Chains A and B, each alone.
Chain A
Amino acid sequence: MQKTKGLLDRQVRLLEYLTSSEAIYGDSCGSLRDPILQGIDRAFLHIEARFSHEKRMDKIAAVFPKTLALLGEDRDAVVREFVHACPPVDIGRLENARQFSDFLISRWRARRPALPYLPDVTACELACAQVRMDADSSPAVAKTPTHTGPSEIRRKSGITLLRTRFDIRPIFEDKRGEISPIERLVPLAISFRAGELGIFELAPEVFDLLAALGSWTAVDELPDAEGLIADLGEAGLLEERR
């Protein structure tokens, strides 16, 4: 029993080391400080740590290509801080992306980003990844929900709402050249339909209405919104059950 307990302890210490900056970046030389790891070849541990880190960063880069590009010269330092602050806890792409996003948000609270619109870009990239995943997880042909009672509406599943401080849409339109997003509050809807990602600006009142329609709501409760509801239904932003 003693031996079994010992193995887990060694495995924990090994993973702590393999996810450390020291192991990933080969920051120090000589023998390993942790006596439990002594006797293991440090160079081989560095290889293992580097591989695992690169695989994790590939997942993160797949979600945040624009954020990582816009970090520019800060990128390596930011990733190093991330490695130090946030060891990997999950194998999933989106989970690692969320971890990276949370880390950036917390970092930017303490230190403003070099580009003031970067938090908006990060939030938008994460929302795009989430919307893609949601779309892929839902059935290809959505069943019309059965319902008895008054007609009800809600925001269509797979639509994410995001309010940004800058108009960052040009960054997502793959326009060439330097883009300087204009500072203004922009209510956005992000959708993924028929294999196409869409990022739309909404009128503030539409944004507010869609934000309020996260769950089924009786149409009767929105007496002045008939026209708007019809338009939103046509645009694929609302679903209705009768």
Chain B
Amino acid sequence: MFSVAKADRRRRPAVGIGYRSAIAEWTRANLKCFDLLEVTIDHCIYGSATQCAEIFDLVGRIPINAHGIGLSIGTDVPLDLAYLDQVAAIVEQLHAPTYSEHLAFTRVPGRDLANLLPLPKTIAAAESIITKVRTVQSRIGVPFLLENISYAFEWPDSNLSDADFLNLICRESGAGLLLDVENLYLNSQNHDFDAYEFLDKLSPDLVREVHMAGGIAISDAGLQRSFLADTHSHPVPNETLDLLQYALSLYAPQTIILERDDRLDATGEILADVERIRSCVDQRSKYAKDKGLVRSSSSSARIPD
């Protein structure tokens, strides 16, 4: 059986892609190009028998990370425990070393937007998430990671920064962070904050896994400038790779996954992006040394006693 521990020994993150059924055959034919794959658990739960069989056939041939999109941990109702139990069973079947989900909500009772929405970045919202993370941890047998999402709008009562909100939840709950570097880049551009400062503020040892992707800029009559959207459809922008390089100088994630959900026929772009990510990994030590980088201290947000 493969293990992501291989990446630990080499002290460099394993690099792979998100598994997608639409390019299953191509992925199987090119397994040697990747150190690991990331499987979307919901595709195993709701996908067809053929799709599931193809996924489980990969177990033992390549390390697999487990990622979810259906938990909606941010919806302010109790977690769906039946769903969590299905997740637990699949994580076990995949021999996945971690289970990750988005720090977001997608639905409320009676309505499902099927799109990740942000939470108000407040102490109260953080408390609610921390409780739920503990529930997840009690039912899933592997470490749980939360992923930062890209968001179009902010709740007006948000009073914590993105980094402080994540630090608080992860520190209090023991969850790790799946750092989506593309989401960080998009948010920093769309909402005018310094992405490098965000990385400086993240707590040490928080970043366990990384997501990379490429999106598009869209125009809308109501917007003063283009909006950068997380479409997982195009090559990773250079700015996102620069951020990755900086993140790698500060943190030691075990894995880096390239996400691609559109224009999947452009497989050459996928392989090229994997290579660009690998180059960043190779250069990380040199980068840190050249820049004399030192990780700053973590955030000060705390849940009041």
Contact = CB atoms under 8 A, between A and B. Distances in A.
- The SS class assigned to the A binding surface is helix
Interface string A10-37: 1110111011000000100100000000
A16 to B, nearest CB: 7
Contact of A90 (B49, B112, B155): B112
B238 interface: no
A39 B156 contact: yes
A84 interface: no
Interface stretch (A133-141, A206-214, A220-228): A133-141
A163 B109 CA distance: 37
B111 A8 contact: no
A8 B113 contact: no
B50 A44 contact: no
A41 B50 contact: no
A4 B75 CA distance: 10
Interface stretch (B57-65, B120-128, B169-177, B194-202): B120-128
Given A4-B76, A44-B153, A19 B46 contact: no
A3 interface: yes
Contacts of B153: 40-41, 44-45, 48
Interface residues on A, range: 35 or more
Interface residues on B, range: 35 or more
Contact of A51 (B112, B128, B229): B229
Contact of B112 (A10, A12, A38, A91): A91
**Which one of A14, A45, A139 has the highest number of Cβ atoms from chain B below 10 Å of its Cβ?**
A14
B111 A19 contact: yes
A170 interface: no
Interface string B222-253: 11000101000000000000000000000000
A199 B50 CA distance: 23
A180 B223 CA distance: 45
B266 interface: no
Given A7-B124, A43-B220, A46-B220, A136 B110 contact: no
Contacts of A10: 120, 155
A29 B152 CA distance: 18
Contacts of B73: none
A48 B118 CA distance: 11
A237 B106 CA distance: 42
Interface string A33-70: 00000111111111110111001100000000000000
A133 B47 CA distance: 9
A50 B153 CA distance: 13
B222 A42 contact: yes
A137 B48 contact: yes
Interface of A: 3-5, 7-8, 10-12, 14-16, 18-19, 26, 29, 38-48, 50-52, 55-56, 87-92, 133, 136-140
Interface of B: 46, 48-51, 53, 70, 74-77, 105-115, 117, 120, 124-125, 128, 152-157, 218, 220-223, 227, 229
